[in-house]
Structure 1
Amino acid sequence: MNALQAVQDAPKRFHKVVIDIHRDPEILSDELAPINGFTVSDTGIGFDDDNFDSFNTAFSEYKSSRGGKGLGRFIWLKAFDRVEVDSIFEDSNILVQRKFVFDGDYDPEKAPCQEISSGRVGTVVRLINFKEPYKSECPRNSEQIAQRLIEHFLLVFLQDECPEVEIHDLGKRIILNDIFIREFKSTATSFKFKIKGTEFSLHGFKLTTPRVSKHRLIYAANHRGVVSEKLEDYIPNLTGRLPLEDGSSFVYLAVVQSDYLNQRVNHVRTDFEMASADDSESEQATFFDDEINRSDIREECISNISNDLRDIISSINDLKEEKIFRYVQEDAPQYKVLLKYRSEFIDKISPTASKSELEAALHRELYQREVKLKQEGSRIIKEAEKIDDYEGYQERLSDFMTRYNELGVSALAQHVAHRKIILEFLDRAISRMPDKEQYPLERAVHNIIFPMRTTSDDVPYDRHNLWIIDEKLTYHSFISSDKPLSSIEHIENASSKRPDLFIFDRRVLFSEGGQPINSIIVVEFKRPMRDDYKSDDNPLTQSFEAIEDIRAGKFKNEKGRPISVATREIPAFCYVICDITDSLRNVMMDMEGAQLMPDNQGYYGYHSRRRIYYEIMDYNKLLRDAERRNRIFFDKLNILGEHR
């Protein structure tokens, strides 16, 4: 920047700035040797007395109008061991040479001037012995360095009076101005906007070079980049290179500048002294109403960038819409309600989003809509007390109810889609394994309907699938699954029997006084296609014995005290889930009260001596009846699948 400013101060003629790259001795490798220094030469005004006086003044304000902070030379010594300066300037038409070394022992008195008879006005600055960690972090490729220099000084290269800038490296000559015209200026766009009366300008560049992969927004001060942000963090559509009509692709680079940024850049040009990112509610903003936050500037930049790229973004969104429609149709019908509002959130979703990322984005959007609608509902209810315009209120309420009911449909869709998946799992669980002649164990079905060795205290209400057996079982109060009766805290019972499912229709814990329990339900699962039942070992035997043991126990109230209950009078229900095989049919012929179901897929009856209602259900019937009960919902959501 010193070289560029020196050229600006010199008489108008052809000027040049040359950067020579110096490297470590060649290494026996295909890699480029590390860079150990630079030489920057210019044809500018030279290191005259005014420049030299400023150089020797800490925090000099000599170049403050150009954004100079008077600290640049100290940054030299932070990154290099020493700096050698050799400059020729004119003083009253006499050529003068100033030559000195700037290092930790620098003494201005040891930087004398001398008149010379001939020479070219200009300055050569040699930056010697690159320090770590800067040396390791510096790109070794000169093309990459050229790219970064152009990006850093974009606004200088945009000026008509910008000199020719070259990089010399290993016999190669790179002219940065040519790269700028070819890869930057040819597609440049510009915008102006105001924030709180302050004017900003934004330049957009479409970089076709393959060396750049990230879209960025650069905040500049005094024609130099200061802070850079990745645009994909604010425009998810910009996650990768964007296509051009000729088949090539580009990366978007935006540079914003303003006198406001010039005035607020810090001394070392690493940031701005202003409210920082995501700071619209920062303390600084609360003290100064006219303070412009970084987020204010970014928001305007993003709006202009999105407008500049609107055609490409629209094409990207069209592809995303197809992807979202397909995902909702095939995997997540609960989000159908969001499709007509997709224009409100489509920009927030990455074009490369996976199914899990789509799920997260749609779930977040649905949740945010629900929160907003609940807040709006509260406001409408409060306004109802003081409303004068009933028709207007009725219209608002009607619109609100339409949108709120859509959320209810979405929740129902998710519930129905869950049921469809569970039934598909059940179908697999009762089918013979393709590589074996045997059927799965009954515990596969058991775990689908209710996890084994748990109770309803462990499993949330919406995580079980008792509806597969009977919708009424969904309204239980307490369930014990495959646990010994002696381990259930709600009754006192020494029995070691462990019913597959033991259900109370209300939680005994909350019973009051001597109020009896409404019912006891026991469910037993038998292995699919079992065909070895006998008269003394029919599928109901185990269930009946478990019910008798339960009735023999003592129930407890909320304080753990026994409740006096006529346990023999408690209605008891027994469900047995098994396959109706020949041996089972033979056994059921002698079972008291057994009646064959009309579809021949099970039995029902009442055992009068034991006072137990029972039902034996075939696995196929279990699956088929559950599908029939839910079919209308599957049909409405277009998720009938192969089971009809």
Structure 2
Amino acid sequence: MNQIIALQPGMLRTNLRGQIRQTQLPKWKALLPLFEAVMNSFQAIQDAKSDRRHRVTIVVERDEDLLDEDNAPIVGFEIRDTGIGFTDENFDSFNTAYSEHKYERGGKGLGRFMWLKAFETVHVRTTFQAQDGYDEPSHWLRDFEFGFDYDPDAASATQTDSGASGTTVRLGGFLSPYREECPADIEILAQRLAEHFILVLMQPECPEVEIHDGGIKLSLNKVFDENFQRGGHSGNFEIAGRSFRIDGFRLHSPRASKHRLIYAANSRAVNTERLDQFIPNFIGRLQDEEGDSFVYLAVVQGDYLNDRVNNFRTDFDMREELEDGQGDLLQVEDLRRSDIRAECLAFVQRDLAELIDGLNTAKAKRVRDYVRTEAPQYKPLLRYLDEFIGSISPNASKMDMELALHRELHQREVSLKREGSRILTEAAKQEDYEGYRQRLSEFMERSNELGVSALAQYVSHRKIIIELLEKALSNDKRTGKYPLEEAVHNILFPMRATDQDILYSQQNLWIIDERLNFHSFIASDRPLNSHTDFTSKSRKRPDLFIFDRKIAFSEKIDDGMPLNSITVIEFKRPQRDDYTGDDNPLRQVFEQIQLIRGGQFKDDNGRPLSVAGDKIPAFAYVVCDITPSMHAELKMSDAMPTPDQRSYYGYHRTFGIYFEVIDYGRLLADAKRRNRVFFDRLNLMDAQRP
């Protein structure tokens, strides 16, 4: 027979095989059938009238073929108790799907179906006491297999001479995938049991619970007393008129590794969340006042959770958050998991306030040191550090701190922009001028702080770029060779790119001239006929040699003239000293400018601009090391040297081009000199002074 037969009139029969198919049991809940059987034992003991010392025994069965191995896989369990047994009333409930016999204690009437979901065989042997119709108490025995062919009529009770009530349920043949998810280590199994029944084990009337594994006997009560009770505290809170209780425990077991929040219903755990997902300070084990490490476990319970647990005890029927369009006013039916969690997290942080304060103090010192020495752009945030230090992990790396500070700065910038917009919108309606002035003053103070932070970040970026440039200009200590000009080129502007392809922060032309930060178009190392901003037939680049590279761009102006200027920048290999008249760099940039002037320029909409190319002012920069051969070429070009002979400048009247030749050493020294005052003001470590 593939059914459970209801013994009470008016109830429907239930197809057992179909019921098992619909039973929800995720593989990560592999121990839930065991938990259901143990909970039945606890409840049977609660119902027992005798004053005898009650006990629950859990016998672990392992794979006999692998017993010689350490921690052979668990294939079954036997759960024994000294409870009331399968009385007629309990047996009727067992044979009735969705029985309400244990409804007041959270019973769903479905726990036994999980046995057949995860185990191949279920054997029940139970002894109970009956007094009806007898002068003296008598004991009865039911001994039956519970499976897809289960027949309630075959489980009829027979009288027995046994003088003690109790039940043994054997769950055999652990099925896949649940078998693979079951912990093989007896201590881990005990910890899982203790966590699930933590609310039962903490009660004074809790019976003795033992786990037997071969010759090993482990007291679950002792595991709980030694690992769960030290330093435990309790608290209560209320949300929308519903009351909750939360208990905090410090687990000193070395096998416990994650801090967790357990949502419980009817004195048993249902699901768990890791606390480090919400409290970064809980990333690892904590240390108590005596220096002992522990893992924190919080358990929350309440009638609301009892009411909302699903039939299979795998989750709760409640939302994580309110859906869009719903207000923030909470009704009882709208309680969210996030509301309960927020109260639990507040309790946890109060319970461990002293330890958390110590962690935050240590983290704050690390963050301040990092900002002082490496990230001065975040100095304005230090006054608010106490507000967000808890969001930073105790094990945070420099990159983690950078990301946390950047996130905080961005959030404050967004908030400030919203507030500024609100102030401006409400200004016209403001009747209290003094209140408006005060609010505006506070807003401007915070706004200035963020402005200082942005400036500091920009200056810090400049320091890094100068250090990279200095390294790029140094020779290889092993070979004595200097790098190609590509290294310098890519620092100042990435090769084969335009300003539409890269971020503004990747453009570092300020090293050559601060005015070069302002432009409308930049193309780097691209053939002239590949640009979209003007048309040219030439594929020529500055030089066919692999050492020659260029950047060419034009700037639009706003005074009625279509174009303001054309600038060409030419890089040469550091320490090159073989220049001749044929490859004079000035001649190369002059030719490039003439080719650009001969092209057809376009506006932002791609329409041709009517402009005489030869009338456009042009500027040329050559960046190189002014070696002896370069000195000779510059003299032949009638270039004017600076007093230190580290740069040349001039104006070519025929072509109408202003030009400047800058030595790499002079370029680096000038960049350091111009920015030194900012580095000093921000307490940055000085770049090596020229």
Give the shorter-chain TM-score range. Answer: over 0.9
What's the CA shift string for 1:1-47, capped at 9, x where partnerless?
11111111112331111111112214275332222221111111222
What's the CA shift string for 1:464-502, capped at 9, x where partnerless?
111111111111222232223333343343334324122
CA contact (8 A) 2:58 2:78 kept: yes
CA distance in 2, matches of 1:434, 1:7: 82
Residue 621 (structure 1) aligned to one of 662, 666, 687:
666
CA contact (8 A) 2:240 2:331 kept: no
Residue 273 (structure 2) aligned to one of 211, 216, 229:
229
CA contact (8 A) 1:516 1:566 kept: no
The CA deviation at 1:391 is 1.2
Q: How many residues align?
A: 637
Asked if residue 501 in structure 1 is aligned to residue 545 in structure 2, the reply is no
CA contact (8 A) 1:539 1:576 kept: yes
The residue number in structure 2 matching 1:240 is 284
The CA deviation at 1:204 is 0.7
CA distance 1:117–1:481, shift in 2 (3 Å): closer
Residue 321 (structure 1) aligned to one of 360, 364, 377:
364
Letter in 2 for 1:87: T
The residue number in structure 1 matching 2:46 is 8
CA distance in 2, matches of 1:42, 1:556: 90
The residue number in structure 1 matching 2:73 is 34
CA distance 1:526–1:5, shift in 2 (3 Å): same
Tell me the TM-score normalised to structure 2 length: 0.88
The CA deviation at 1:404 is 1.3
What's the CA shift string for 1:478-531, capped at 9, x where partnerless?
223222333334334333432412221228xx998xx45322222112222222
Asked if residue 216 in structure 1 is aligned to residue 260 in structure 2, the reply is yes
Residue 644 (structure 2) aligned to one of 595, 599, 610:
599
Residue 54 (structure 1) aligned to one of 90, 93, 101:
93
The residue number in structure 1 matching 2:56 is 17
CA distance in 2, matches of 1:591, 1:340: 58
CA distance in 2, matches of 1:90, 1:561: 101
The residue number in structure 2 matching 1:80 is 119
CA contact (8 A) 1:243 1:249 kept: yes
The residue number in structure 2 matching 1:444 is 487
CA contact (8 A) 2:523 2:551 kept: yes
CA distance 1:29–1:416, shift in 2 (3 Å): farther
Residue 266 (structure 1) aligned to one of 301, 310, 335:
310
CA distance in 2, matches of 1:220, 1:282: 28
Residue 215 (structure 2) aligned to one of 150, 171, 178:
171
Residue 136 (structure 1) aligned to one of 180, 187, 190:
180
The residue number in structure 2 matching 1:570 is 616
Runs of at least 5 residues in structure 2 that lack an aligned partner in the other structure: 1-38, 132-136, 543-549
Letter in 2 for 1:18: T
The residue number in structure 2 matching 1:434 is 477
Which aligned pairs between 1:114-513 and structure 2 lie closer than 5 A?
A: 114-275=158-319, 277=320, 279-281=321-323, 289-291=331-333, 292-499=335-542, 500-506=550-556
Tell me the TM-score normalised to structure 1 length: 0.94
The CA deviation at 1:422 is 0.9
CA contact (8 A) 2:122 2:172 kept: yes
User: Secondary structure of the residue that 2:78 maps to in structure 1?
Assistant: strand
CA contact (8 A) 1:22 1:36 kept: yes
What's the CA shift string for 1:352-375, capped at 9, x where partnerless?
223333222222211111111111
The CA deviation at 1:388 is 1.6
User: Secondary structure of the residue that 2:488 maps to in structure 1?
Assistant: helix
Asked if residue 610 in structure 1 is aligned to residue 655 in structure 2, the reply is yes
The residue number in structure 1 matching 2:627 is 581
CA distance in 1, matches of 2:404, 2:311: 41
The CA deviation at 1:258 is 0.8
User: Secondary structure of the residue that 1:523 maps to in structure 2?
Assistant: strand
Residue 82 (structure 2) aligned to one of 35, 40, 43:
43
CA distance in 2, matches of 1:145, 1:280: 37
CA distance in 2, matches of 1:70, 1:456: 69
The CA deviation at 1:284 is 8.9
User: Secondary structure of the residue that 1:60 maps to in structure 2?
Assistant: coil
CA contact (8 A) 1:520 1:571 kept: yes
Runs of at least 5 residues in structure 1 that lack an aligned partner in the other structure: none
CA contact (8 A) 1:427 1:623 kept: yes
CA distance 1:284–1:140, shift in 2 (3 Å): farther
Residue 98 (structure 1) aligned to one of 134, 142, 146:
142
CA distance in 1, matches of 2:310, 2:303: 14
User: Secondary structure of the residue that 1:576 maps to in structure 2?
Assistant: strand
CA distance in 1, matches of 2:366, 2:357: 14
Letter in 2 for 1:71: L
CA distance 1:587–1:572, shift in 2 (3 Å): same
The CA deviation at 1:78 is 1.4
What's the CA shift string for 1:176-214, capped at 9, x where partnerless?
111111111232211111111221111111001011111
Asked if residue 545 in structure 1 is aligned to residue 583 in structure 2, the reply is no
Letter in 1 for 2:43: Q
Letter in 2 for 1:211: R
- The range that moved more, 76-85 or 151-160, is 76-85
CA contact (8 A) 1:191 1:201 kept: yes
Percentage of matched positions with identical amino acids:
55
CA distance 1:337–1:589, shift in 2 (3 Å): same
- The range that moved more, 615-624 or 523-532, is 523-532
CA distance 1:91–1:412, shift in 2 (3 Å): same
CA distance in 1, matches of 2:537, 2:150: 94
CA distance in 2, matches of 1:327, 1:414: 14
User: Secondary structure of the residue that 1:61 maps to in structure 2?
Assistant: coil
The CA deviation at 1:289 is 2.2
CA distance in 2, matches of 1:73, 1:548: 90
The CA deviation at 1:220 is 0.8
Residue 633 (structure 1) aligned to one of 678, 681, 685:
678
CA contact (8 A) 1:631 1:640 kept: no
- The range that moved more, 156-165 or 136-145, is 136-145
CA contact (8 A) 1:60 1:69 kept: yes
CA contact (8 A) 1:280 1:296 kept: no
